[in-house]
Structure 1
Amino acid sequence: MPSSRFFPAVRTGLTVLLVLLLLSSGCTDILEGKQDSAPVSGTTGDLRAYFLDVGQGDSSVILFKDKVILIDAGEVDYGDTVVRDLQKLGVEKIDLLVATHPHSDHIGGMQAVFARFPVEKVLDSATPSSSSLYEKFLDTVDRKNIPYMAAEAGQTIEIDPSLRILVLSPPKGGLGDDINTNSIVLRISYGTVNLLYAGDATSAAESVMLKTGYAMDAQVLKVGHHGSSGSSNAAFLARVDPDVAVISLARDNPYGHPHKETLERLANAGPVVYRTDRDGTILVMSDGTSFSVMTQKDEPGIWSPAAPSTPAGTPSPGTPTTTQAPSPATPPPGITVPVTIPTIPPDLTVPVPSLTLPPVQVGNSSFIRISAVQFDAPGDDRQNLNGEWVRLTNRGDGPVLVAGWTLTDKTGTEPFTFPAIVILPEESVTVYVGSGTMNSSAVFMGRTTPLFGNSGDFAILRDGSGKIIDKKSE
């Protein structure tokens, strides 16, 4: 993960003072702690992500409240398997169908899916292909009048306000002619839990993604291209920093997947690795703050439309867990513990003294520069708010606390106020106009309308006292 660190939004001056005390005392561990969730055994919640066992192919289902996302549908002869799995989960319609790229092991089963379920909209890589399967896929989408979207890096897909779907690849204009390199890569976020679906993206695509500045950290990674050595390069794995990696593949497949080199890179990166050839279908459940992993091999109940709880006892080998604090002790049966709760007068008031703190600054504010901007978002600005962004870079030799600073367009009428962010030397943080989950390299304004004009506008960065630190036009 990048080494720039951030804190949640500062709500009182006391929090700023605490940050100052930590910095001045040398206690910087809080700046470098991993800002994400760990796997917790037994976690359930609104999000259930299934990595289906479809042999040497790919198919993933995300269930979120009453919404359904299907990413790929395996080979032609696995289409009925995907349909049966969806039916077991109680699915009646698909809100978003994603075709990561036009290879048969990803779109072969689509016709079976179209025949059984209504589809609300389709996201496609739009990579040119003469494949008859792909032509039939496009014909079906057209015949059924299904809204069609071509994927482009920076795009956000809306299906529920609590679920963020960000396209990381391919970029506008694509990446040459290779179909795998132009595979769709998605980052799906719920609360602080992120899942990254890499499709069949190659190392070349991963290297381009690393340069975009988009948030890529994810607790769960669907490993690219079935574990091929041409995907999952070391820099990409370091940026994603997954706790869990899932590989979709068939046992004894003719390609030798997963390749030894990929397994070695995963071992060095540290995630727990699950494989559909060994574990069957894999289920990740999350409540937005933690997540758990279950496998078909160990728990047949994963197919219940109501998410099951992990049985008590020792977790299966390889199942990640986090120790939780014990519950307070309960008195044994037959013992009564007297408790008296005093009556609180309804008109009770507690005087709280007002506290006014002067603006504070840690580090040299002049180190922070606006290093890059994008005001003209790809596609429709109103549908791609995170296509507008401003990147801040620390050009100095020491950390700088950005707290209470503002970022505006040239009119200055709708300022965005920064939470407390510490940017380390030579590191960057990208500020996106739309909504998302803060992470080590991204902050979100949370706007519902564009901020910057497509031409003639510029971004203005001011510190907490209103002094202009930098400004930049596109």
Structure 2
Amino acid sequence: MRNRKFTFLDEIQDLYISIYLIGYEVEGESCIFILHTKVPEKKILYSIVIDCYENTESNCTIDILEKLELKNKLDMLIWTHPHDDHTIGLNKIIKRYCDKNTKIITSNILNHPNGYSDICIELANQINSKCYNKSKNRWNVNSAANLGYGLQTIEFTNASGLINNMKIKCISPVSEIGLVQGLNKKVDLNKISIGIIIQIERNENRLNFMFTGDMDKQTIAAIVNEQEDEEIPFVYNLIKLPHHGSTYSSNLVNLLRKESRSELAVTTVFKKDSLPTKDAIDIYKDYFEDIRCTSSPFDRLWGTGMIKVEYDIGLEKSEVNTYGTANKIC
């Protein structure tokens, strides 16, 4: 993978980040990250979709993208791993909102359909058909293979001191996981889940965001070991908890610091496995000021919910709103 770097030259007088986390009653997860400005005009500067899901009633990711009225296609699409609850509906996102300039990120999964559902195989084939050397009008497809690898750097000029640059780093499984998976008859697809870290750098401070998919505890352990060398942050404005808030992946707290608590953790549910677990939330609560979920699982109030977070970078403040069944759980 090559780190694509460009400079944004337009005048910016204000700057916002809008983040949407969508979850459904039984399973399903999708995240949307939008960097945008309102003055001197409303403009989306960068857009990312991470995973997708839909049920018989709706595809909330598409509903939000329609309301945002994207004038350009998505800048980046991330498919964290080939499980249906992170996959269904992504084919529609690709068809409607991706073009040859969209950077599509997957783990190293496109040519290894072992254990995939028919839906995931179809999506892998759809993406693979646009890979390099197979089409002149291709999407910019990348298989993530390196911890902390830079996917994108955007430098801003004429931005009124609001932002210097935005860096997007990939968190991908350590190589040993892939080797073991190849030897196993039964593949654990969560072990190949990737995530990303987005860093907004300013003159005086930095905003940090992490989106983890169903990232495995072994991958998290590798991040902890390489945290300083790879310049992985210790404090975050928002983290999407790995694997729907399971205890299995709660070693994520080893990346964090109790003395400097991170701002917000968000998660979706996986009803079959009763996720998130209360044990995991009890672990996380010492490291975050606020934890929210797209349902209220401990009150057994399940349904479709959305958490929207908006950061006003100029005023250095954030606002969190919940919709549907989404709620604060800690």
With the length of structure 1 as denominator, give the TM-score of the two structures: 0.49
Residues 295-323 of structure 1 show CA distances to partners (whole Å, capped at 9, x for unaligned) of: 2439xxxxxxxxxxxxxxxxxx9699xxx
TM alignment of 1:205-244, pairs within 5 A = 205-213=219-227, 214=230, 215-217=232-234, 218-233=236-251, 234-238=253-257, 241-244=261-264
The partner residue of 2:79 within 78, 99, 112 is 99
Match of 1:264 among 282, 288, 292: 282
Task: For 1:173 and 1:271, locate their aligned partners in 2 and report how far apart those are by CA, in whole Å.
Answer: 35
Identity of matched residues, % = 22
- Structure 2 residue aligned with 1:121, among 89, 96, 103? 103
The one-letter code sitting in structure 2 at the alignment partner of 1:45 is L
Q: Give the equivalent residue in structure 1 for 2:120.
A: 134
Aligned Cα root-mean-square deviation (Å): 2.9
Aligned equivalent of 1:202: 216
Give 1:249 deviation, angstroms: 1.9
- How far apart in 2 are the matches of 1:256 and 1:319? 15
Unaligned runs of 5+ in 2: 1-13, 37-44, 131-137, 156-164, 182-187, 297-303
Residues 188-238 of structure 1: per-residue CA shift (max 9 Å, x gap): 111311111111112222111100133132221100111111112242444
Aligned to 1:185: 195
Counterpart contact for 2:54–2:60, Cα < 8 Å: no
Residue 269 of structure 1 deviates from its aligned partner by 2.3
Q: What is the total number of aligned residue pairs between the two structures?
A: 257
Query: SS of the counterpart of 1:199?
Result: coil
Residue 449 of structure 1 corresponds to none
CA contact (8 A) 2:107 2:192 kept: yes
Distance in 2, matches of 1:48 and 1:164, equals: 16
The structure where strand makes up a greater share of residues is: 2
> In the TM superposition, what are the counterparts of 1:40-55 in structure 2 within 5 Å?
45-55=15-25
Q: Determine helix, strand or coil for the equivalent of 1:73.
A: coil
Q: What is aligned with 2:266? A: 246
Match of 2:7 in 1: none
Matches within 5 A, 1:72-87: 72-75=51-54, 77=56, 80-87=59-66
1-structure distance, mates of 2:127, 2:57: 20
Q: Is the 2:265–2:288 contact (alpha carbons within 8 Å) kept by the matching residues of 1? A: no
Give 2:208's aligned amino acid: N
Partner secondary structure for residue 273 of structure 2: coil
**Alignment partner for residue 285 of structure 1, among 310, 316, 319?**
310
TM-score with structure 2 setting the length: 0.69
In the alignment, what sits opposite 1:6? none
- Superposed displacement of residue 183, structure 1: 1.1
Partner Cα separation in structure 2 for residue 79 and residue 166 of structure 1: 31
What do residues 141-200 of structure 1 show as CA deviations (whole Å, max 9, x unaligned)? 234521210112121122632211011332346454232122112111113111111111
Preserved contact between residue 237 and residue 266 of structure 1 (Cα < 8 Å): no
1:79–1:157 Cα change, 3 Å: farther
Q: Which residue of 2 aligns with 1:156?
A: 150
Q: 1:282 to 1:77 in 2, by over 3 A?
A: same
Greater C-alpha radius of gyration? 1
CA distance in 1, matches of 2:98, 2:19: 20
